[in-house]
Every structure is written in structure tokens, then in C-alpha cells.
């Protein structure tokens, strides 16, 4: 297939390698001239240091070049950039399959990526690819399993067949809502897991946080129309585990720095990659109050990040909530 990748950060670059190895023709768009020049030289040290990038992956600074002759378009940009990119590709878009890799909710609307694309592009060929898949490992061909979800199972199967290989195993799923929400909200829980790491690396606390985090992701998801089972799959529990525990996780890292006493602005300023949970937690905070959904870890994470709450006080408050039944 001719595949156009929009976004040449760590995940876009890494998935380009997977797709090239699978025999596809790959063009990748970047807005950054320095990344464009590096890719032409067979590397992307800004986002994937130490990994060689085949020169047959063709970089471009022109968005129209990745759209015009592509049969499939991959979106590998942050969730907050989806609406503006969708507006830009709208005049060029000719009903190709769009595969979204972003994991987040739009701050101002609380919308999922598929809802934004539906609004702007009236898209009917959408697949979201999500699951435990750190770019740094995928780029090194470390065995990874992931989920391709779509309302149209034929499309999910096309993605499964074209993206899978011996080290990249794709399952299909028909629950877009659950797969998108699992991927978006686990980033918030991973920030809180990182806070635990930064404060003391407490194993008991972190295991509880992952488990109760999954409970609140599931609660929110069901209210939004997701299927419960999706959250015990790769795009739910699987991604939550890897993001809460991995040395590669950007979200866990933000939390760890907060736990060590650093300020959010300072942490973000020194990172060149996106930590989606920092934004998704904003989208969720107001909404869960309005909808009356119980998400105490999400709430406390917001208060620590944006209302200057001491993380130890937040943990104390979580522990002192009214005692209740687990289910
Ligand atoms: N890095 C990873 O291991 C994984 C990342 N993801 C998700 O994929 C998405 C992209 O993540 P990464 O590649 O890690 O991010 P990144 O920060 O490494 O790269 C983001 C890319 O998007 C571009 N970009 C940023 N803002 C933009 C804007 N306003 N307009 C146009 N382009 C813009 C950047 O120039 C860069 O090329 C995120 O939603 C992330 O949660 C999902 C799975 C794995
Ligand atoms: O989604 C991811 C792994 O599946 C990447 O998570 P981070 O953005 O926290 O690195």
C-alpha cells in the first residue's frame, strides 16, 4: 500500500519502520525542518535517538504530498493537534482509511479523536490503533501486541493484515469508544503512578493505583457507551500496565518529576515529546463533575497538577475517602 504518516515524533517514526518492513511505500510528514533533514540522513535523533531509519521512508514538509497518493493515512500527532490537522487535510482528503494513533481527549470539547474527525471530515473509514506499544521498543522490533478498532470490521482487518508482522501482532476489536477511552485515560493514571515513583517507589500503592485506576476508567467508559470487556484487554489493562511501569513512559515521567517536587511548567518545558495525560486530565476534570462520575484518582491528579495540591496530601485524601465495597 501507499501509506502517508502525519507526524514524525517517536510513534510516527517508529510505526513507519514497521510499515516499511511490511513492504509498504511510506511517506512521512513533519512540520520541522530539522527533523526533515535528519530523516533524509537516516535518523531522527530528536525523537528516536540511536535508531537508524531507512532512507526509503520518504520525509516531506508538504502535507499534500502524504495525502494525495496515499491509500491509507496514519495520524501520529497529539490529540490537541487533531482538529487543526483535520481542517488542513480536508480539501485534500478523498475518503482514504484513516488510522489514528493519538491517545487523548480534546480539552475544550472532551471529544475523542474519532468524534473530532467525524465533525471535521465526516469520516466513515476510521480505525484506531492502541495498546501497550512504546515507540522505543517497537522501533527495536521487540514483540508487541496491539488492537485495531473500527465500526467496520473489514477496515479493522485491513489494518490488522497490513500492520502485523512477527514482532507486531494486531488484534481486531469493534469497540472504538472503549479503545479510544482506554488509551486516553490511562495516561492520567500513569501520571499518578509516576507521582508514587517520585515520592517513594511504593509497590503496594502503585498496584492499588493501577487497579483502582482501571476501575475508574471502566466506570467512565461504560457511561460513555464503551464495552466493559475492552478495559480488561490490551487497550485497557495492557496499556495501563505498560504506561504506569515503563521507563519509556512520558506520562509516568511527568508524574515522577512532580513527586520529586518539580513544577509542571518546568517539566513540560524540558520535554520535547507530548505527555497526553497532562491535557486529558483537564478535559476530564470538569466533565466528571458535571456527569457525576466517580473518578477520585483523576480528580486528585488534576488537583496536584493544576491546583498546587501537595501530592502527599492527595494520597492521604484518597486513603481517607469513605470506606466502600470494591465493586
Ligand atoms: N511515543 C509512543 O510510544 C506512543 C505514543 N502514542 C500516542 O501517539 C501520539 C503522538 O505521540 P508521540 O509520537 O509520542 O509524540 P511526539 O511528541 O514524539 O511527536 C509528536 C509529533 O507531532 C507533531 N506535532 C505536535 N504538535 C503538532 C501540531 N499542533 N500540529 C502538527 N504537528 C504537531 C510534532 O512535531 C511531532 O512530529 C500521542 O497521542 C501519544 O499518546 C501512542 C502509542 C505509543
Ligand atoms: O501509549 C503509550 C504506550 O502504549 C505511550 O505512553 P507515554 O506517552 O506515557 O510514553
- 208-218: per-residue pLDDT in tens? 999 999 999 99
> Has residue 103 been placed in a domain?
yes
**Mean pLDDT, to the nearest integer, of 23-40?**
98
Residue 7 shares a structural domain with residue 140: yes
Distance 248 CA to ligand 2 centre (A): 8
Active site amino acids: 186
pLDDT of residue 269: 97
Proportion of the chain above pLDDT 90, given as a percent = 98
Ligand 1 atom showing the smallest separation from residue 77 Cα: 22
Q: Is the dihedral angle over the CA atoms 76, 160, 153, 174 positive or is it negative?
A: negative
**What confidence category does residue 40 fall into, taking pLDDT thresholds of 50, 70 and 90?**
very high
Residue minimizing CA distance to atom 8 of ligand 2: 250
Annotated binding site for sn-glycerol 3-phosphate: 103, 131, 133, 186, 239, 249-251
Residue 86 shares a structural domain with residue 160: yes
Domain count, the chain: 2
Helix ranges (H only) for the chain are: 10-21, 33-40, 63-68, 82-89, 113-121, 135-138, 153-163, 176-199, 203-223, 239-245, 250-259, 264-269, 277-291, 296-306, 311-319
Q: Nearest-5° angle of CA 99, CA 213, CA 101?
A: 10
Q: CB within 8 A of 93, min separation 6: which ones?
A: 67, 121
- For the Cβ of 9 lying below 6 angstroms from any atom of ligand 1, the answer is yes
- The CATH number given to whatever domain includes residue 226 is 1.10.1040.10
Residue 170 shares a structural domain with residue 97: yes
Distance 322 CA to ligand 2 centre (A): 32
Q: What residues flank ligand 2, with Cβ below 6 Å?
A: 103, 132-134, 187, 190, 239, 242-243, 248-252, 275
pLDDT of residue 237: 98
**What confidence category does residue 188 fall into, taking pLDDT thresholds of 50, 70 and 90?**
very high
Domain that holds residue 69: 2-174
- How high is the ipTM of this complex? 0.99
**What confidence category does residue 124 fall into, taking pLDDT thresholds of 50, 70 and 90?**
very high
Residue minimizing CA distance to atom 43 of ligand 1: 133
Distance 176 CA to ligand 1 centre (A): 20
Q: Residue 253: pLDDT above 90?
A: yes
Residue 143 shares a structural domain with residue 221: no
Residue 141 shares a structural domain with residue 195: no
Residues in a beta bridge with 284: none
Q: Ligand 1 test: best mutation among 9, 44, 46, 163, most atoms within 8 Å of CB? A: 9
Residues in a beta bridge with 6: 29, 75
- For the Cβ of 132 lying below 6 angstroms from any atom of ligand 1, the answer is no
Residue 118 shares a structural domain with residue 238: no
Phi/psi of residue 209, nearest 5 degrees:
-65, -40
Ligand that lies nearest to the alpha carbon of residue 240, given by its number in the listed order:
2
Residue 112 shares a structural domain with residue 226: no
> Has residue 113 been placed in a domain?
yes
Distance CA 41, CA 309 (A): 46
**Mean pLDDT, to the nearest integer, of 181-204?**
98
Give the end of a domain, one of 143, 174, 205.
174
Give the end of a domain, one of 174, 198, 223.
174
Proportion of the chain above pLDDT 70, given as a percent = 100
CB-facing half-sphere around the CA of 208: CA atoms within 13 A:
12
**Mean pLDDT, to the nearest integer, of 88-105?**
97
pLDDT of residue 286: 85
pLDDT of residue 289: 87
Distance 121 CA to ligand 1 centre (A): 21
Residues in a beta bridge with 148: 129, 172
pLDDT of residue 263: 97
- For the Cβ of 141 lying below 6 angstroms from any atom of ligand 1, the answer is no
Residue 145 shares a structural domain with residue 202: no
- The CATH number given to whatever domain includes residue 85 is 3.40.50.720
Q: CB within 8 A of 261, min separation 6: which ones?
A: none
Is the Cβ–Cβ distance between 52 and 43 less than 8 Å? yes
Residues in a beta bridge with 5: 28, 74
Pairing of strands 126-130, 144-149: antiparallel
Ligand 2 atom showing the smallest separation from residue 133 Cα: 4
Residue 296 DSSP code: H
Task: Return mean pLDDT, the chain.
Answer: 97
- For the Cβ of 18 lying below 6 angstroms from any atom of ligand 1, the answer is no
> Has residue 326 been placed in a domain?
no
Q: Residue 106: pLDDT above 90?
A: yes
Residue minimizing CA distance to atom 33 of ligand 1: 77
Residue 183 shares a structural domain with residue 195: yes
Distance 243 CA to ligand 2 centre (A): 6
Among 284, 325, 277, 13, residue whose Cα is nearest residue 138:
13
> Has residue 170 been placed in a domain?
yes
Residue 122 shares a structural domain with residue 90: yes
Ligand 1 atom showing the smallest separation from residue 47 Cα: 18
Length of the chain: 327
**Mean pLDDT, to the nearest integer, of 314-326?**
97
HEC profile of 189-245? HHHHHHHHHHHCCCHHHHHHHHHHHHHHHHHHHHHCCCCHHHHHCHHHHHHHHHHHH
Residues in a beta bridge with 97: 72
> Has residue 100 been placed in a domain?
yes
Amino acid at each position: 500500500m501507499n501509506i502517508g504518516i502525519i507526524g514524525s515524533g517517536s510513534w510516527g517514526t517508529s510505526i513507519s519502520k514497521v510499515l516499511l518492513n511490511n513492504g509498504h511505500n511510506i511517506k512521512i510528514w513533519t512540520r520541522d525542518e530539522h527533523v526533515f533533514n535528519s530523516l533524509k540522513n537516516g535518523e531522527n535523533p530528536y525523537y528516536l535517538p540511536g535508531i537508524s531509519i531507512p532512507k526509503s521512508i520518504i520525509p516531506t514538509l508538504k502535507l499534500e504530498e502524504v495525502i494525495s497518493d496515499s491509500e491509507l493515512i496514519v495520524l501520529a500527532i497529539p490529540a490537541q493537534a487533531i482538529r487543526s490537522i483535520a481542517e488542513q487535510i480536508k480539501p485534500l482528503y478523498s475518503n482514504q482509511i484513516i488510522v489514528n494513533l493519538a491517545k487523548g481527549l480534546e480539552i475544550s470539547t472532551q471529544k475523542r479523536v474519532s468524534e473530532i474527525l467525524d465533525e471535521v471530515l465526516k469520516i466513515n473509514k476510521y480505525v484506531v490503533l492502541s495498546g501497550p506499544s512504546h515507540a522505543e521498543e517497537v522501533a527495536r522490533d521487540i514483540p508487541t501486541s496491539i488492537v485495531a478498532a473500527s465500526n467496520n470490521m473489514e477496515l479493522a482487518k485491513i489494518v490488522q493484515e497490513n500492520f502485523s508482522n512477527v514482532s507486531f501482532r494486531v488484534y481486531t476489536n469493534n469497540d472504538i469508544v472503549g479503545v479510544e477511552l482506554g488509551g486516553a485515560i490511562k495516561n492520567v493514571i500513569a501520571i499518578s503512578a509516576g507521582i508514587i515513583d517520585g515520592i517513594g517507589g511504593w509497590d503496594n500503592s502503585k498496584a492499588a493505583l493501577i487497579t483502582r485506576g482501571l476501575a475508574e476508567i471502566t466506570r467512565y467508559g461504560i457511561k460513555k457507551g464503551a464495552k466493559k470487556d475492552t478495559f480488561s484487554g490490551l487497550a485497557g489493562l495492557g496499556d495501563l500496565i505498560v504506561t504506569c511501569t515503563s521507563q519509556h513512559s512520558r506520562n509516568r515521567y511527568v508524574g515522577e518529576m512532580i513527586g520529586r517536587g518539580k513544577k509542571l511548567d518546568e517539566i513540560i518545558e524540558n520535554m520535547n515529546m507530548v505527555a497526553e495525560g497532562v491535557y486529558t486530565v483537564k478535559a476530564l476534570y470538569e466533565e466528571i463533575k458535571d456527569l457525576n462520575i466517580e473518578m477520585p484518582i483523576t480528580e486528585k491528579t488534576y488537583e496536584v497538577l493544576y491546583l498546587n495540591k501537595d501530592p502527599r496530601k492527595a494520597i492521604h485524601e484518597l486513603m481517607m475517602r469513605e470506606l466502600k465495597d470494591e465493586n
